[in-house]
Amino acid sequence: MQMNYFRIMLSDEELKFLVYWEQHRDEHSGFISKLLRGLPMAMLFGIPILLFVVVVYLFFPEWYTKISMAISGTVPIIIIAVFIAIIFYAFTRMHFKWEMNEQLYMELKQKQRKGAANKQINNS
The C-alpha angle with vertex 14 and arms to 6 and 91, in degrees rounded to 5, equals 150
Predicted pLDDT of residue 59: 83
Q: What radius of gyration, in Å, describes the C-alpha atoms of the chain? A: 25
Question: What ranges do the domains of the chain cover?
Answer: 11-119
What's this model's pTM, rounded to 2 decimal places? 0.74
Residue 6 has pLDDT above 60, yes or no: no
Of the candidates 99, 106, 81, 89, the one whose C-alpha atom is nearest the C-alpha of residue 37 is 89
Residue 65 has pLDDT above 90, yes or no: no
Q: pLDDT tens digits for 69-97?
A: 655 667 788 889 999 999 999 999 999 99
